[in-house]
Amino acid sequence: MVFYYLHAPDVAIAEAAIGSGFATVIFLIAIKKRGVLIMLTYPHSRFFYYDDKGRPAGFDYDILSLFARKLGIELEVKHVQDWRKLIPQLISGKGDVIGAGMTRLDERMMRICFSDGYFPTKVVIVTNSKNTALNTLSD
């Protein structure tokens, strides 16, 4: 899943003063004024890749491209080579949003804000039917 980060440091101060709805508006106004939405992504994400002509593609890219177009601004893609550095890069202001198929986890939610999910998934274990060693979750 992709989630938008809506708390730049200055926006966090504004949110504390005037509430999250207004802070989000302030954040979007600042992005529009700058003229570019900066997407941080992990180049090995299943939701972002380059097509056979070398153009950015994928579910996350498509959604954020449409969002940027709706705002009337450009989308800039910045690659973060280490998955674990996506959130720190976002918090440090190197980007505005993460587009890398990131799952909402409690420890992540303590540091950043997530949009509503749009690609529900569930984890399953698949094994060969001849494998009798795995029969229950505890196995």
75, containing H or E segment: strand 74-79
Q: What's the average model confidence in pLDDT over 27-45?
A: 88
Say if residues 67 and 28 touch (Cβ distance below 8 Å): no
**pTM score of the predicted model:** 0.71
Q: What is the pLDDT of residue 115?
A: 73
Query: What is the CATH number assigned to the segment(s) 9-109?
Result: 3.40.190.10
Q: Is residue 5 very low, low, confident or very high in pLDDT (cuts 50, 70, 90)?
A: very low
Q: What is the pLDDT of residue 53?
A: 96
> According to the per-residue pLDDT averaged within each range, which of 59-63, 112-116, 129-133 is highest?
59-63
Alpha carbon distance 139, 134 (integer Å): 5
pLDDT averaged over every residue in the chain: 80
